[in-house]
Structure 1
Amino acid sequence: MDTIFALATARGKAGVAVIRISGPRAAEAGQALAGSLPASRVAGLRRLHDGEGGLLDEALVLAFDEGASFTGEKVVEFQCHGSPATVAAVLAALGRLPGMRMAEPGEFTRRALENGVMDLAQVEGLGDLLEAETEAQRRQALRVLSGALGDRAESWRSNLIRAAALLEATIDFADEEVPVDVTGEVGALLDAMLCELTAEIDGVAVAERIREGFEVAIVGPPNAGKSTLLNHLAGREAAITSEHAGTTRDVIEVRMDLHGLPVTILDTAGLRDSADAVETIGIARAIDRAKAADLRIFLLDDSGETQGLAPLAEDIVVRGKADLAGGDGLAVSGKTGQGVAELVARITSVLEQRAARAVTATRARHRQAMIVAQGAIGEAQNQLSLGMEVAELAAEDLRRAIRALDSLVGRVDVEHVLDEIFARFCLGK
């Protein structure tokens, strides 16, 4: 296997740059540049030299033994000064050593997976953690990275193996008198499994929204103050505002962090009947995006009309241009800021309640694997309802469920997703 190396920190000027080496020749490469390596997991100050004895830098050097590193292989790390010239010189010196090559994007993490240091769900959690922009995204990614989904999958797998073993025992001793009826224990195990899987499957959609971001659409008639409200929320002139109705023709998006939740606010075209062909297209797009959004803010004028788009139970209905009109109920003004804090609090409350329903699984791939397992368990229950004469068919259904759960953590049937997952990683990870 090749020994790989790469810059593990961001490119550009920095106080410190970390260069990572992993593979069978990592220690040899480290010694070639540093002269000697410190004890495992102990930092040592060393002068780095190139192959001709020229001084490259003075760096902290760390060495990790096989089985005790991020990749599970022998690893050496140089903590160099972070100038681009220093980094380039050290990388060039490593590239001239025999058996060394630059790592591909995500290759360090892929080796961690192949060496059993991480499971596939943890790899996805690490990818999400590297992309996290808000506190909710960080917490969710860290939960997956810590192995929470793998632990759940292992627990489910153990229960299914137990149920399958009981059925297999019944099959193996079909010609003898089996002293214990296993249907009660198997049925209880499968019932509990289905309840847990159903809860996880239902929570994936929310977890995906935390990772990708919730969408909140501002909808209402023209000149209700939608674009002005968006600009106030964004803290900048994201949308053009005008006294003329129909100014907004397309959906304008602004990404925000609301109390740790990733949220994209959508400013949409004013809802009304229009003879203008371009405005009509904008209105159609507004309705489509509003229907697909996670939450809608209906910003209404004095007429109170929603132009055929009815609010759902959790949608927020407010009056616009509160600085110009009185009345009861929640009203906001993007121009003066009146009522905006209360509106943000309402939005945050609704989305926090939804985020609380997020579970361990976070991706459509996880959901699909669990749906397959859920269906296989359901089939096993149907077989068992026909009697122990078809226990062999039920056992095969349980084996199918086990294979589906194994795919969650990368034991089987995941080669087709690996390239896509690791391509999203940066070079030094």
Structure 2
Amino acid sequence: MVLTVAVDGRALYSKITWRLIPYIFLLYIVAYLDRVNVGFAAYDLQRDLHFSNTVYGTGAGIFFLGSVLFDLPSNLMLMRVGARIWIARIMISWGVISTCMMFMHSKESFYVLRFLLGVSEAGFFPGMIIYLTYWFPTQERARAVAKFMTATSLAGVVGGPLSSYLLKLDGVGGLAGWQWLFVSEGIPTVLLGISVLFVLKDGPAKATWLQPEERVWLEGELQRDRERFGASTHHRLLDAFRLPALWVLAGVYFVSQVGVYIVNLWMPLILQSFSHGGERDAILIARYATFPYLAAAVMTVVVGWSSDKRNERRWHIAGCLTLSALGFAWAAWAHALVFALCAMTLAAIGLWSMMGPFWTLTTSMLSGTAAAGAVAILQMVGGAGGFAGPYVTGRLRDATQSFTGGLYLIGAMALGAAALALVARSKESGPVVESNR
């Protein structure tokens, strides 16, 4: 019997948003905090373990080598066993590794633990992006992704004050402040990973909190969306590798992740280069560093809304990257803390705000295993950028005793990526964005 009860689509998407986004938002805040908290601990690690800028940059970046190697197989496993089980596995394992960071005592243990953290976390972000495609069609997705992506910026807002508090526990219980930082932020991840088994569902068909007519209507909308944008014709893993636009977007994403992790992992030290370098200054810098993340969180939602309202992706991506380029160039020129902070805020706004339109553009082209593969491929390329940014910045800092060269370099790269975003094309449908119309 065919259900004839009318469904209010807007009310249904609002219901799904309130049910899913706050929870996965929390998951990603915890994930991102475990990934970048080493940036807040950088000063203490250099002081206590005598790490050079090159050692710190290498260890901070080596996380992404582990992620790059295992993102694709992890994402394919998610498609096989389901999001609920696999995301829970990812969170529990990386929470354990993050907690073990408290035991590092040398550069070798730093490298090994950061690499294992990347291996254990591999597949989480791609899995979350794919998971959102199970619930939101293309015309709703940029806003959903943008709301989810604000977790990466708000992790900095939460992480700054939290990290500064935990660093004050230096000496309590015989532990250094940075040890308290890692153990206090790793254990909650394990607990949240266990909760995933009870909270997440693997799609509308298994969501008992939806009415039967809502499930039928939503699955129909998602199927029509895949057919409309050609995603239903690109569902095998090989299809992802054959799509030219994907490799153009991979270049864009590589540059964006170089920039993102320069902000995440080096901004506290960049800002601290304008201070006197004392312990109190390190704690204050951790607090100041929350402002760029807060501004980025607000603008990520605004840009996602604008992208969906105009049904346009490429110009939004290019505009955001141009803004980040200006921010990095200003930071390279700045000679005072307040100007450096404002400059890094512009860079952060541009880099985070592009994510909603970027992932909507990507996931509108593919479905099924191809979509999982495409997101994993982009994460692998982005992971290479995540390693390159911190590593090269550290090397340049040690060689020149300045951040200027690295900041000008990423500014130029961001301008190039903005131009690249405008030429992204889908072989079958011409301009990718215009195929949405």
Q: What is the TM-score with the length of structure 1 in the denominator?
A: 0.24
Higher helix proportion, which one?
2
Q: Which has the higher contact order (CA 8 A, sep 6+)?
A: 2
Higher strand proportion, which one?
1
Larger Rg, first or second structure (1 or 2): 1
Q: What is the TM-score with the length of structure 2 in the denominator?
A: 0.23
